[in-house]
Amino acid sequence: MTPRLRHGLAQALFGWLNLALTAPGVYLWLGLPLVLRQHGWSGTALGLFQLASLPTVFKFLLAMPLDRRGARHGGYRRWTVALLLAYAAVLLALGWRDLLNDGVTLFALAAAAALAGTWADVPVNALAIRVLPAAGRASAGGIRSMALCLGAIAGGGLMLLAQARWGWQAPFLIMAGALALGAALTLLLRESMDAGRADDGAIASRDEHLDTNDAATLDETKGQPRSPPQAADTTSTTRHAIAYLRLPASRRWLPLLALLFPFIGAGWFYLKPLLLDQGLAPQRVAWLVGVAGGAVGAVASIAGARLLKRLGAGRAVRLHAGAGAAALLALTLAIGLNAAPAVLAACAMMVAAAMGATAALAFGLMMSHARPGLQALDYGIQSSVFALTRIAAPLAAGILLDMAGPVAMLAALTTGAAAVLALAWRRAAALPG
């Protein structure tokens, strides 16, 4: 098998794994809120339900044992298979009986699903960083974001329709089966160190005169973190994590990573309930946002990855920040003016496109900010930063929705997105990737 074909098949596998990992979370956090809203849940209650996804914030802690035990040949693959099967088991527990009227159990099992999905995500993407060549990582970010958007189609649209047609258990059985298939296919993947070694060698040749015990150094010509030694224990892992946070590249990137997505993400989260409140039928909302919106987001994610390659990180970040602010402004005006359903649908597609493209940009740049040898740890740190603001924004927006109404909530999200655009305009030019 040629290297190009092998890498292409690996890209396809990682796309499937990300789709299978994403669909359950989308179903729980973006699909069920439509049903819960129909059952009388308030905006604040919907926001509080998001707290069940708090385990995603601690992804960097879950990454620690992976870089210690997963650094060996085949280690990330074994972790991936084990955690995918664990995630499938939690989904089967969720589908054991109808939990719509048992909020406590639903919250607890949703939190367990968030933990399993979060932990499984770390070795999957660390494995992708290890297996895929550096030149393919921008495309990998686009494929991952496309998989997230296809997961939105499945979890936010098709699984809702499956539940309505076949009952509570059907979506969980389907999603558990997708995870099990992904685990089986992962066993066929060859965990090659070739790409990682090539990157390590390039970095080491530039930095061989530097102290290899200092992880907080940077290749000034490329703006990338240099390769540190492998973490051997919890103390050294903590030291490597602190060193990563002190890197100049990390100090430039992490604030943007924290703020780029949560405002457009919160707008996407409340899009279904808002359209339901505007009088659209639930099934129409599921098709419009869950299926059509997910498809638009998938296409936009591919475009976002291509723009990252063509424009470079600085200009791409500014463009995507501006697109998010514009989409939220359009939705604010449409809701405030009680626009026709066709206008609302167009605004929903704008939000979907901005969300998909921004996610692709974020994931592509996350791969560019992971040090060779510590991919799981660095990816986990970035994912934790990303998840913290992604969870906090819908909670704050839900409280504002109940207190001041949808227009005030959307106006606040638009203002936040505009502030992110101003920040990106000042700081994005120096980003590597």
385 Cα distance to chain centroid: 11
> Average of pLDDT values for 158-173?
87
Q: Which residues of 413-432 are buried (b: 16+ CB within 10 A; e: fewer)?
A: bbebbbebbebbeebbeebb
CA distance 104 to 112: 12
Residue 120 has pLDDT above 80, yes or no: yes
The domain locations on the chain are 3-192+237-430
pTM value?
0.69
Average pLDDT over the chain, rounded to whole?
Answer: 79
Q: Mind listing the pLDDT tens digit for each residue in 257-309?
A: 899 999 999 999 889 889 988 888 888 888 888 888 888 887 888 787 778 77
Residue type at position 223: G
Residue 194 confidence (pLDDT) above 90: no
Q: Give the pLDDT of residue 410.
A: 96
Could you tell me what percentage of the chain is helix, strand and coil, using 3-state DSSP and rounding each to the nearest 5?
Answer: 80, 0, 15
Tell me which amino acid residue 28 is. Answer: L
Q: What is the pLDDT of residues 401-416, one digit of tens each?
A: 989 999 999 999 999 9
* DSSP run (H or E) holding 393: helix 375-404
Mean pLDDT of 44-57: 78
Percent over 90 (pLDDT), the chain: 26
In sequence order, what are the residues at sequence separation of 6 or more whose Cβ sits closer than 8 angstroms to the Cβ of residue 108?
none
Pick the CATH number of 3-192+237-430 from 1.10.357.10, 1.20.1250.20, 1.20.1370.20, 3.10.129.10: 1.20.1250.20
Instruction: In whole angstroms, give the CA distance from residue 380 to residue 63.
Output: 6
Q: What Rg, from alpha-carbon coordinates, does the chain have? A: 21
Look up residue 227 and give its DSSP letter. P
Contact 433, 253 (CB under 8 A): no
Q: Mean pLDDT over residues 222-232, rounded?
A: 45
Determine which helix (DSSP H) or strand (DSSP E) holds 248, and give its type and residue range.
Answer: helix 248-260
- Give Cα 96 distance to the centre of its chain: 27
pLDDT at 181: 95
The Cα–Cα gap between 387 and 262 comes to 9
pLDDT band at 327 (very low <50, low <70, confident <90, very high): very high
Lowest mean pLDDT segment, chosen from 142-146, 249-253, 323-327: 142-146
Per-residue pLDDT tens over the stretch 235-254? 677 788 888 888 887 888 88
pLDDT band per the 50, 70, 90 thresholds, residue 162: confident
